Amino acid sequence: MFIIIHLVAGLLPVNNFQFSWFWLVGSLIPDIDHIFLFIQHKLFSFSKIMDATRFEEKYGIRSKTKYVHSILGAMIVSLPVILINTAGGIYFFAGYLLHLLLDWPDKDVKQYLYPLKKELKGILPIASKTEQIISYVLLLIIIIYFLIK
């Protein structure tokens, strides 16, 4: 899903209708795999990054790796957080799962059930107008929520 939606989801009030850093970081951290792929493939300009994200086949990459964009990845990454702060770790894990759920509509291939070979594909082109509109509507809702709070 368009990156802004993950930020917006991370800003949602969760802990007794309060902001949670654990939730925010959990909703953003799964995209860390994108950074490594962009460096590996020497995609350093914004236009190349956007192009590679939208047209993975053209670049021969999968920006959503099976190691990070999977339920197993969510459990492994969340475990140290849970061991340090149980309640925070639960919010982190939930934010992580929300990220995966928000990525589901994207048409790129994902392996959420890794190590099983089952691949999932959504229907929306990455960074499509539809995704952008959904992201900005959610951002507007968050802004209105914090203004009236």
Stretches where the chain sits below pLDDT 70 are: 1-3, 63, 149
Outline where 18-55 has alpha helix (H).
Answer: 21-28, 32-40, 46-54
Residue 29 token pair: 């951290």
- pLDDT at position 16 is 77
Residue 90 token pair: 């639960």
17, part of any domain: yes
Residue 8 token pair: 């917006």
Give the count of beta carbons closer than 10 Å to the beta carbon of residue 15: 13
For the purposes of burial, counting CB atoms within 10 Å of the CB of 109, is it exposed (0-12), middle (13-18) or buried (19 or more)? middle
53, part of any domain: no
75, part of any domain: yes
- pLDDT at position 19 is 83
- pLDDT at position 41 is 74
Amino acid at position 49, single letter: I
- pLDDT at position 141 is 83
Predicted TM-score (pTM) of this structure: 0.81
35, part of any domain: no
Asked whether 94 and 83 are in contact (CB, 8 A), the reply is no
Domain extent at residue 74: 3-29+64-148
Distance CA 71, CA 87 (A): 19
- pLDDT at position 2 is 55
127, part of any domain: yes
86, part of any domain: yes
112, part of any domain: yes
- pLDDT at position 139 is 83
Q: How many domains does the chain have?
A: 1
Residue 18 token pair: 């309060």
Count Cβ neighbours within 10 Å for each residue of 19-42 and write b for 16 or more, e otherwise: ebebbbbbbbbbbebbeebbeeee
- pLDDT at position 63 is 67
50, part of any domain: no
- pLDDT at position 4 is 76
- pLDDT at position 129 is 81
| Beta-strand runs (E) in the chain | 109-110, 120-121
- pLDDT at position 88 is 94
The SS3 call for residue 7 is: helix
Nearest residue to 92 via CA among 16, 23, 10, 18: 23
